[in-house]
Amino acid sequence: MNKQDIIKATDLVKTYGKLTAVDKLNLCINEGEVFGFLGPNGAGKTTTILMMLGLTEPTSGTARICGFDPAREPLKVKRLTGYLPEKVGFYEDLTAWENLDYTAALNGIPRDAASRKINELLGMVGLSEVGEQKVGTFSHGMKQRLGIADVMIKDPKVAFFDEPTSGIDPEGIEQVLNLIANMAKQNVTIVLSSHQLHQVQKICSRVGILSKGHLVAEGSIDQLGREAIAGGKFRIELQVSEPTRKLINSIKKIKGVSNVESSGDQLLISCDEDLRPKIARAVVDSDSLLVQMKIEEYGLDDIYMKYFRES
């Protein structure tokens, strides 16, 4: 097993009758990464996660978690992975403490160690005060945080979160995302599925975009954003006092600049890398005055448009 690829999917296929939910999915996730699984509803995100956890069998292809096949060695995989399902449920007539205690018992954690761990985790997710309350009285956000404690109790190497932020209020979302980010700091590899790009970008180091069962794009969000708006190029917006032809030509001569468009006093420069220092010099060397220069931020909406609409 390559230590880098803690999660590896090879030609993963899942069909339900005639419907292909996941189609030849290939994916590698490195150890310690926070990987965001993006895609509209019904893109196959949950199905992929279920196959990786051994909760459903792939029609063909294989998944490997830490080198184990979840379809053949489910127990070894489940010992190493935590999973927070989309609609997580707890035993409503048991307290938060008792629910976690049950999970600890299912994992065979000795009682005194479990008890210490539960208190620690309840503190971490901010539920110490209500640990002795029945879960039935909890809000959705509280249950979600309890779910994170539930995942943490077995000290997983890999944690899967399926839509962890859906249906909770903005403050709750903030708390949940912070908790997940903290988990990542403890070297837990995290796979997060969501259709909320804005939230995912805050904590994910890399994302994969899934559409109709295909992985249509994979990479960091900056990278995907650039591809979405400018075909992988940087776009620099330049405002000068006098956009002379001479200035435009001198900018065009800079190595790496592929195109310059002008409209009024604005220049839109496409280039292969961030060439702002060189462009600034070109402006200074010319007679024109630099008003402002900024590198164009990719828009998350552009990513949406490109990858979700395309399919």
Partner 1 sequence: MSGLMAIFWKELADHFNSKRFIILSTLIYLAGIATIYVAAQNIRTGITENTEFIFLRLFIVSGESLPFSFPFFLSLFIPIVGIALGFDAVNSERISGNLSRILSQPLYRDSVVNGKFLAGLLTITTLVVSIVFLVAGMGLRMIGVPPTAEEILRLFAFIFVSIIYGAFWMSLAVLFSVFFKRMATSALASIALWIFLFLFISMIAGAIANAIIPVDQNSSLEMIAKNDEIYRTISRISPNTLYAEIIQVLLMPELGNPSSTLMLLSIYTKGMIPTPLSLGQSLLIIWPQLTTLIALTALCFAGSYIKFMREEIRST
DSSP per-residue codes, 76-88? HHHHHEEEE-TT-
CA-based end-to-end distance of the chain? 34
- Rounded to the nearest whole angstrom, what is the least distance from the CB of residue 82 to partner 1 in the complex? 7
- Alpha-carbon Rg for the chain in angstroms: 24
Residue 96 beta carbon to partner 1: minimum distance, rounded to whole angstroms: 14
- Residues 279, 205 contacting (CB under 8 angstroms): no
Q: Least separation, in Å, of the C-beta of 81 and partner 1?
A: 7
Which residue, 164 or 225, has its beta carbon nearer to partner 1?
164
Structure-derived torsion over alpha carbons of residues 285, 290, 292, 298, reported in degrees to the nearest 10: -30
Give the DSSP per-residue string, 146-177: HHHHHHHTT--SEEEEESTTTT--HHHHHHHH
Between residues 134 and 202, which has the closer beta carbon with respect to partner 1?
Answer: 134
Footprint on this chain of partner 1 (rule: CB under 8 A): 46, 50, 53, 55-57, 74-75, 78-79, 81-92, 102-103, 105-108, 147, 150, 154, 162
105/289 with CB nearer partner 1 = 105
Q: Which is nearer to partner 1, 103 or 199 (CB)?
A: 103
Nearer to partner 1, 74 or 256 (CB): 74
Least separation in angstroms between residue 144's CB and partner 1 is: 12
Q: How far is the CB of 150 from partner 1 (least distance, A)?
A: 7
Q: How far apart are CA 237 and CA 271, in angstroms?
A: 11
CB contact at 8 A, 194 and 84: no
